[in-house]
């Protein structure tokens, strides 16, 4: 479905990182990734494999969870980014869309989008142009612009979360489980938008997904994580055809999670963790 990665330039490079939570829980055990500029790279793996931890190591959101990168290096455009505040990283063009579609529920859709422009000293005209760009990609959000975000559907909230990230004019988007809890048709709609953002705006994506099936159809390259280690990586097309990947990861239902009950128990587990 997708063409080869459009650029050879590695924009984000992770070398052999180790992450420890609460000083004792070793979660990432030497993870290395190379993310090419202008590509869609998928980070795959089941519950607790370490996908979110990897994304948070890059965006520097680990500290608030008492996590720490204790070994290895992370470079963006050849520059070490481990000590930057998340907001400085946004200024360098890297933004994370968090798992679970975090919106400000009491604000309208449009107000949520506008919060995404806060790191920039943009003029009103620029911000309007960006809003229109977001509405072009997400026509549903335009229709719902004055609705309170808390009352919109799960799919619309995921769109708000991505749209808000776009308002910072990112070069690279770290997207955590965009498919989570959404019906297959919406998952498809969101991945198609990711694809057009990649093709038309040249946005680079590193996306974490349990839904291997959909991720490998849209990504150019994939890494599979298990228990904090990369166990396999390769061009998406090769991974799709790999017998082990087929057996262990593509045997899942299209939604990635087998039933609503799974999603619920998963949410419970997450709450218990936090």
Ligand X SMILES: Nc1ncnc2c1ncn2[C@@H]1O[C@H](COP(=O)(O)OP(=O)(O)OP(=O)(O)O)[C@@H](O)[C@H]1O
Q: Work out whether 48 is an interface residue with ligand X (CB under 6 A).
A: yes
Q: Work out whether 52 is an interface residue with Mg ion (CB under 5 A).
A: yes
Neighbouring residues of 261: CB distance < 8 A, sequence distance ≥ 6: none
Residue 222 burial (10 A CB sphere; 0-12, 13-18, 19+) = buried
Report how far residue 211's alpha carbon sits from residue 58's, in angstroms, rounded to the nearest whole number: 22
Helices within 68-220 (DSSP H only): 86-91, 109-115, 124-137, 139-143, 154-166, 184-201, 212-218
* Region binding Mg ion by CB under 5 A among candidate stretches 48-56, 126-134, 211-219, 241-249: 48-56
Residues within window 8-47 making contact with ligand X, judged by CB under 6 A: 21-22, 25, 27, 45, 47
Q: Work out whether 49 is an interface residue with ligand X (CB under 6 A).
A: yes
When CB distances are held under 5 to 8 angstroms depending on the partner's kind, the choice from ligand X, Mg ion, none that residue 123 binds is none
Residues within window 149-208 making contact with ligand X, judged by CB under 6 A: none
Between residues 109 and 175, which has the closer beta carbon with respect to ligand X?
175
Closest CA to 134 of 45, 90, 183, 196: 196
DSSP 64: G
Min dist. Cβ of residue 270 to ligand X (A)? 7
When CB distances are held under 5 to 8 angstroms depending on the partner's kind, the choice from ligand X, Mg ion, none that residue 111 binds is none
Min dist. Cβ of residue 110 to Mg ion (A)? 28
Size of the site for Mg ion (CB under 5 A): 3
Q: Which H or E run contains 46?
A: none
Between residues 138 and 221, which has the closer beta carbon with respect to ligand X?
221
Handedness of CA 28, 93, 234, 137 (dihedral sign): positive
DSSP 220: S
Size of the site for ligand X (CB under 6 A): 17
When CB distances are held under 5 to 8 angstroms depending on the partner's kind, the choice from ligand X, Mg ion, none that residue 113 binds is none
Q: Are 191 and 199 in contact (CB under 8 A)?
A: no
* Region binding Mg ion by CB under 5 A among candidate stretches 56-64, 97-105, 245-253, 255-263: 97-105
Min dist. Cβ of residue 176 to Mg ion (A)? 6
Q: Work out whether 210 is an interface residue with ligand X (CB under 6 A).
A: yes
Report how far residue 131's alpha carbon sits from residue 3's, in angstroms, rounded to the nearest whole number: 29
Interface residues toward ligand X, by CB under 6 A? 21-22, 25, 27, 45, 47-53, 65, 67, 99, 210, 273
């Amino acid at each position: 479905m997708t063409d080869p990665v459009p650029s050879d330039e590695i924009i984000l490079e992770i070398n052999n990182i180790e992450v420890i939570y609460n000083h004792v829980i070793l979660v990432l055990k030497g993870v290395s990734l190379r993310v090419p500029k202008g590509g869609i790279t998928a980070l795959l793996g089941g519950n607790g494999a370490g996908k979110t931890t990897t994304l948070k190591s890059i965006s520097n959101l680990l500290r608030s969870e008492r996590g720490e990168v204790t070994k290895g290096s992370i470079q963006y455009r050849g520059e070490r980014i481990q000590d930057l505040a998340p907001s400085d990283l946004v200024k360098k063009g890297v933004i994370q869309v968090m798992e679970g579609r975090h919106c400000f529920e009491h604000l309208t859709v449009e107000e949520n989008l506008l919060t995404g422009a806060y790191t920039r000293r943009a003029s009103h005209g620029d911000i309007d142009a960006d809003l229109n760009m977001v509405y072009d990609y997400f026509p549903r959000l335009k229709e719902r612009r004055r609705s309170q975000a808390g009352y919109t559907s799960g799919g619309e909230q995921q769109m708000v979360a991505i749209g808000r990230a776009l308002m910072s004019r990112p070069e690279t988007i770290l997207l955590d489980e965009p498919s989570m809890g959404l019906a297959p048709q919406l998952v498809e709609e969101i991945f198609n938008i990711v694809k057009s953002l990649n093709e038309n705006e040249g946005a680079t994506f590193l996306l974490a997904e349990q839904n291997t099936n959909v991720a490998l159809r849209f990504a150019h390259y994939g890494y599979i994580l298990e228990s904090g280690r990369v166990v396999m990586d390769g061009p998406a097309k090769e991974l799709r055809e790999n017998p082990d990947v087929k057996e262990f990861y593509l045997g899942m239902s299209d939604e990635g999670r087998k039933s609503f009950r799974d999603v619920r128990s998963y949410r419970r587990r997450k709450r218990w963790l936090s």
